[in-house]
Amino acid sequence: SVSAVEESEEENFLRSPICCVMGHVDAGKTKLLDCIRGTNVQKGEAGGITQQIGATYLPAENIQERIKELKAADDKHMKVPGLLLIDTPGHEPFTKLRSRGSGLCDIAVLVVDIMDGLKPQTIESLNLLKSRNTEFIVALNKVDRLNGWKPCPNAPIIKAMKQQSQDVKNEFNMRVVQIVTQFKEQGINTKLNVNENKRMRETYSIVPISAKSGEDIPDLLSLMVYWTQKSMTEKLTYSNEVQCTVLEVKYVEGLGTTIDVILVNGVLRRGDQIVVCGNHGTPIVTRIQSLLTPEPMKELRVKGKYQHHSEIRATQAIKITSPQGFEHAIAGTALYVVGPDDDLEEVKEAAMEDMMKSVLVNNNKNGSSSTAGDGGVCAQASTLSSLEAMLEFLKAQEVNIPVRGIGIGPIQKKDVRKASVMLEKKILAFDVKVTPEAQKLADELGVKIFVGDIIHEVIKAYMQNLKEEKEKELAAVDEEAVFPCVLKILPNCVFNKKDPIIVGVKVLQGIVKVGTPLCIPQRDFVVIGRIESIENNHKRVDMANKGKEVCIKIVGTNPNQQQVMFGRHFNIEDELVSHISIG
């Protein structure tokens, strides 16, 4: 039936890939973006390109028109409806994205200046791309700067290359080899994309371009489109489930505080109930009042004029307004639509959880040496930005306090409960209030809360407490009942004669335990020290029973005391016995 056909078509419907441009400062990112979106616009033939909110949309027809000279274009079918280019060059589209797994960018263009090669920021970008598993194409920019280059505007590189002198060709080849080597040093295989690169996933393509004179921009566009639609079919298959990311929170005269979003999948409608992460620990629940996109490109664009929509389908960049505004919305987080079957409270929780988890993951990822193990404190602050500042402080080398959980806003019972199930039941709170109920619960559950308006003071109080606890712990060990034991020193097993004494012994009586003080009854009960560790067959153990042969390490207990030495103060015949202090 007709509807079945429609459905199957719907299934195979691809959305537009989202692309961002990265690279070292001055590599030509801005120029490239201008070049991609601008050429036709300047000639007064916008060719369907639309300027979006923080992005530019290139429809398939426009791309097809621009790549028609390429041989590859003849026998290929463009399946994606277009390409959405994020307008902000650099790291921002990445680093701003806090929501988990937010692979907002489907593909990146990494711009490298052919005259400069890889620079620190190129490597930074590379690492970011690697850590997010984002595919990318290397745009080797400024080929027009090669000495003696003859400009061939918009020509494919093969064609442009044919026009060049042997000297230019030589310089070009030499520089490409250098840059491929530099990439290899970063663990990345690259290859010049002259004859289609069929092994794209293992070998990244290098497309030589000039953002100034436009050489090979068609190849770059074509690669972006064909490669994404071929290798990311699943990811790019349109889904009705709303996937939407807040790119920016902006105050606009007459509209209030708006959010600019990228709708990756699904449909947004005017009147939809939505949930957005809030900076004060509480999510913003509101309705979409208006869905706005800029007016289509005209020669004279009136700034600040928008088209209103009743609904918009992905992939698009949109400005959203709401009745109460989005004053405390957080850029980089996901926007959730509350559907008819959804429980609002669950959506609210999911939105905040998602954001918090990603803040924590990001924090640990960029962390220094602090491996928390099972330990770690809870950190809580008034706003997301103050929380992030606090996390930075805790991460600092001199401080290095591992963080296990985080929270925003006043400390409530739920925060205490969360901390109570952790190994270290401690909350470090900066610039927040503790509700009386939360404090009461904390006292009951043994959760310690360190509050303050100055991060340093909070940290100081925590450190002080940690020191006190350590001292108490040591004192407790002293008071612990000593297990009686009698040990015989084994022949040829004295590995170290004085502090620390390391000897092999056989347990004649009782149990030998770490921490046990030992003395020599035959020599006036002289205390030789305390057992610091026990090894059985080269494995550390806490104790050993009667009959076992183990190696023990004995450290002196009192630094003021005279050091007891094997061979001088005792010898092989002497039995070592647990020292039970009286009083």
Work out how close the CB of 54 gets to ligand GDP at its nearest, in angstroms, rounded to a whole number. 16
> Is there binding between residue 37 and ligand GDP (CB under 6 A)?
no
Site mask, ligand GDP, residues 212-241, x = CB under 6 A?
x-----------------------------
Q: Which stretch binds ligand GDP (CB under 6 A): 142-150, 364-372, 387-395, 572-580?
A: 142-150
Residue type, 494: V
Residue 104 to residue 156: CA distance in whole angstroms: 29
Q: Are 411 and 440 in contact (CB under 8 A)?
A: no
When the beta carbons of 224 and 459 are compared against ligand GDP, the nearer one is 224
Contacts for 62 with CB less than 8 Å, ≥ 6 apart? 40, 47, 48, 49, 82
In the chain, the amino acid numbered 103 is G
User: Which of 23-31, 64-72, 124-132, 309-317 is the region at the interface with ligand GDP (rule: CB under 6 A)?
Assistant: 23-31
Beta-strand ranges (E) seen in 99-201 are: 107-113, 135-141, 189-192
Among 51, 99, 134, 210, interactor with ligand GDP by CB under 6 A: 210
Smallest distance, ligand GDP to C-beta of residue 212, A: 3
Angle among Cα 287, 293, 296 to the nearest 5 degrees reads 160
- Pick the binder of ligand GDP from 25, 344, 361, 454 (CB under 6 A): 25
Closest separation in Å from C-beta 122 to ligand GDP: 10
In the complex with ligand GDP, the residue whose CB is nearer, 208 or 517, is 208
Q: Which stretch binds ligand GDP (CB under 6 A): 207-215, 248-256, 398-406, 477-485?
A: 207-215
Alpha helices (runs of H) in 407-514, residue ranges in sequence order: 413-420, 436-445, 455-479
Considering only residues 523 to 542 of the shown chain, the ones binding ligand GDP according to CB under 6 A are none
Q: How far is the CB of 56 from ligand GDP (least distance, A)?
A: 15
HSE-CB of 237 using CA atoms within 13 angstroms: 8
* Among the listed residues 20, 22, 27, 207, the single contact to ligand GDP using CB under 6 A: 27
In the bound state with ligand GDP, the residue whose beta carbon lies nearer, of 24 and 530, is: 24
Of the pair 17, 208, the CB lying nearest ligand GDP is at: 208
CA 475 to chain centre: 42
- Decide: is 116 part of the binding site for ligand GDP (CB under 6 A): no
Tell which one of 68, 145, 169, 472 touches ligand GDP (CB under 6 A): 145
Query: Could you give the CA distance from residue 369 to residue 346 in angstroms, rounded to a whole number?
Result: 36
Between helices 455-479 and 384-395, what is the axis angle to 10°? 50
Residue nearer to ligand GDP on the CB measure, 121 or 203: 121
Give the pair of three-digit tokens for residue 176. 């490409």
Q: Where are the alpha helices (DSSP H) in 1-116?
A: 2-11, 29-42, 60-67, 71-74, 92-95
The interface region with ligand GDP, picked from 191-199, 208-216, 421-429, 549-557 by CB under 6 A, is 208-216
- Tokens 């067959």 belong to 537
With binding defined as CB under 6 A, does residue 144 bind ligand GDP? Answer: yes
Beta strands in 266-328 (DSSP E): 267-269, 273-276, 284-287, 290-294, 306-309, 311-313, 316-321
What is the phi/psi pair of residue 183, to 5°? Answer: -65, -40
The answer to whether 379 touches 406, Cβ cutoff 8 Å, is: yes
Find the shortest distance in angstroms from Cβ 209 to ligand GDP. 7
Query: Is 86 one of the binding residues for ligand GDP (CB under 6 A)?
Result: no
Size of the site for ligand GDP (CB under 6 A): 16
The DSSP bridge partners found for residue 502 are 496, 553
Where would I find the beta strands (DSSP E) of 60-123?
Answer: 82-86, 107-113
Query: Contact, 105 vs 86, CB < 8 A?
Result: yes
Q: Which CB, 21 or 442, lies closer to ligand GDP? A: 21
Alpha carbon distance 361, 385 (integer Å): 16
Does 141 engage in binding with ligand GDP (CB under 6 A)?
Answer: yes
Output the smallest distance, CB 187 to ligand GDP, in A: 24
Q: Give 209 or 359: the residue with its C-beta nearer to ligand GDP.
A: 209
The distance of closest approach from Cβ of residue 433 to ligand GDP in the complex, given in angstroms and rounded to an integer, is 45
Of 79 and 212, nearer to ligand GDP (C-beta) is 212
Q: Which of 212, 214, 234, 232 shows the shortest CA–CA distance to 224?
A: 232
- Which residue stretch of 136-144, 167-175, 179-187, 388-396 sits at the interface with ligand GDP (rule: CB under 6 A)? 136-144
Stretch that binds ligand GDP, among 173-181, 205-213, 361-369, 455-463 (CB under 6 A): 205-213
Stretch that binds ligand GDP, among 12-20, 29-37, 72-80, 532-540 (CB under 6 A): 29-37
The answer to the question of residue 28 lying near ligand GDP (CB under 6 A) is yes
Phi, psi of 130 (to 5 degrees): -65, -45
Considering the complex, state which of residue 37 and residue 418 has its C-beta at the smaller distance from ligand GDP: 37
Q: Which residues bind ligand GDP (CB under 6 A)?
A: 23, 25-31, 89, 141-142, 144-145, 210-212
